[in-house]
């Protein structure tokens, strides 16, 4: 390995939400964190260098994200994901959730139905509900330790008049990397019922066990009422730069997305993000591959450790993302209750699955994006918690 993902980074003093704003766990800091979705890995050295070089220019006035930067995103998608779209299809934006907010604002009206596959990343509920759109849940089926789409339920719901669907691929929090057949079926169903396909692919490059993700953009020739959202934030641990990029095959759709964001005076990525995006997508191939290998090792470590010491905890084997979905159903506690106990008595910050809806009630979302030694410390505490609960 060229890069060292075992290296410990002390993030205290860097304004890290994960380490220094643990308010939902009842404290400011001090808990060993496995919650919010960033990693504790040092960024790609070339990206850090590119930002330092940008700092050499002492003027930080308004900037735009131009073709030089956008081309690196386009080439990455062509090289790694067989997406063949011209540069005009790429629209830089500030954040993925913000971009989804504007898509819903631009393409749907208050009262329109928006479908999500639960359990799912909960800010989706906020962008739907806070804009007066009606959320329609299509719960994933949980069977034999994995999740799949309930196609029958989905089509029934689409028939009843859904305006947009937020698809999450790979799926946070259940870790599915949807198959090419799944993605194609989703596109075809959206086409059949004329539904806006909002495909959040922010975790697309974080794939484990040799899996490959299929972007909905590969099917743009079949149907182009779609917006695909990506970013360097998860893949390269750059969430603090607040940048993203939309892939929008249809030019009219792109113009509407752009106009809707501009109405709120929200611009694209900042100048430091431009430097980072270019470097990540130009020099980051090996770094990403090695990170995926390391994360696969971490996922194996979690499954082996819990399998041996706390087999009561069900582990959903992830295909992608660095978020593991742990089933505590056998303890008969809710995710919120477990979250409080882990924070108060075991010094851990782990996200509760309760708020993700679907069958998330007794699940926890466990972020494995950290050095293995830190992961082991967290697992020791989880095992202690499970052992104590069994004794109750």
Ligand X SMILES: Cc1ncc(COP(=O)(O)O)c(C=O)c1O
Complex with ligand X: residue 40 or 331, whichever CB lies closer:
40
How many Cα atoms sit within 13 Å of 315 on the Cβ side? Answer: 24
The residues, any chain, with a CB within 8 Å of residue 59's CB and separated by 6 or more, are: none
Q: What minimum distance in Å lies between the beta carbon of 233 and ligand X?
A: 5
How far is Cα 263 from Cα 247, in angstroms, rounded to an integer? Answer: 20
Complex with ligand X: residue 116 or 302, whichever CB lies closer:
116
Q: What minimum distance in Å lies between the beta carbon of 239 and ligand X?
A: 5
Q: What minimum distance in Å lies between the beta carbon of 168 and ligand X?
A: 5
The dihedrals phi and psi of 191, each to the nearest 5 degrees, come to -65, -45
Contact residues for ligand X, defined by CB under 6 A: 37, 95-98, 121, 168, 172, 200, 202, 231, 233, 239, 244
The residues, any chain, with a CB within 8 Å of residue 302's CB and separated by 6 or more, are: 315, 324, 366, 368, 375, 379
Query: Shortest CA distance to 358 belongs to which of 96, 199, 172, 85?
Result: 172
Complex with ligand X: residue 202 or 310, whichever CB lies closer:
202
Q: What minimum distance in Å lies between the beta carbon of 39 and ligand X?
A: 11
Complex with ligand X: residue 169 or 386, whichever CB lies closer:
169
Q: What minimum distance in Å lies between the beta carbon of 244 and ligand X?
A: 5
Complex with ligand X: residue 174 or 239, whichever CB lies closer:
239
CB 326 within 8 A of CB 364: yes
CB 207 within 8 A of CB 213: yes
Strand partners, 141: 148
Complex with ligand X: residue 122 or 310, whichever CB lies closer:
122
CB 128 within 8 A of CB 135: yes
Number of helical (H) and strand (E) elements in the chain, helices listed first = 12, 14
Q: What minimum distance in Å lies between the beta carbon of 53 and ligand X?
A: 24
């Amino acid at each position: 390995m060229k890069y060292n993902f075992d290296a410990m980074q002390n993030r205290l003093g860097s304004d890290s939400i994960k380490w220094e704003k643990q308010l939902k766990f009842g404290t400011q800091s001090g808990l060993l964190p496995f919650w919010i979705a960033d990693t504790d890995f040092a960024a790609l050295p070339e990206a850090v260098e590119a930002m330092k070089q940008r700092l050499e220019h002492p003027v930080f006035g308004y900037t735009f994200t131009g073709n030089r930067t956008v081309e690196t995103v386009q080439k990455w998608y062509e090289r790694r994901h067989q997406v063949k779209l011209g540069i005009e299809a790429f629209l830089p934006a500030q954040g993925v959730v913000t971009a989804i907010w504007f898509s819903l604002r631009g393409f749907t009206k208050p009262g329109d139905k928006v479908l999500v596959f639960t359990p799912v990343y909960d800010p989706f509920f906020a962008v739907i509900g806070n804009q007066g759109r009606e959320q329609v849940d299509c719960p994933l089926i949980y069977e034999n330790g994995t999740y799949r789409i309930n196609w029958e339920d989905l089509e029934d719901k689409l028939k009843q008049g859904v305006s947009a669907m937020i698809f999450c691929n790979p799926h946070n929090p259940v870790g599915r990397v949807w198959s090419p057949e799944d993605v194609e079926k989703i596109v075809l169903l959206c086409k059949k019922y004329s539904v806006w396909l909002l495909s959040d692919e922010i975790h697309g490059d974080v794939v484990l066990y040799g899996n490959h993700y299929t972007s909905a953009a590969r099917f743009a020739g079949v149907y182009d009422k779609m917006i695909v959202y990506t970013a360097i934030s998860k893949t390269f641990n750059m969430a603090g730069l607040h940048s993203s990029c939309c892939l929008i095959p249809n030019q009219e759709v792109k113009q509407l997305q752009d106009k809707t964001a501009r109405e709120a005076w929200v611009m694209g990525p900042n100048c430091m993000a431009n430097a980072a995006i270019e470097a990540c997508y130009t020099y980051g191939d090996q770094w990403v591959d090695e990170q995926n290998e390391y994360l696969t090792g971490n996922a194996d470590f979690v499954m082996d450790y819990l399998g041996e010491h706390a087999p009561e905890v069900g582990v959903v084997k992830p295909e992608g993302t660095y978020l593991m979905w742990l089933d505590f159903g056998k303890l008969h506690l809710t995710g919120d209750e477990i979250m409080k106990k882990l924070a108060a008595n075991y010094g851990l910050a782990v996200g509760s699955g309760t708020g993700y809806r679907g069958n998330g009630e007794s699940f926890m979302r466990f972020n494995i994006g950290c050095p293995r030694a830190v992961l082991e410390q967290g697992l020791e505490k989880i095992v202690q918690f499970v052992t104590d609960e069994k004794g109750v």
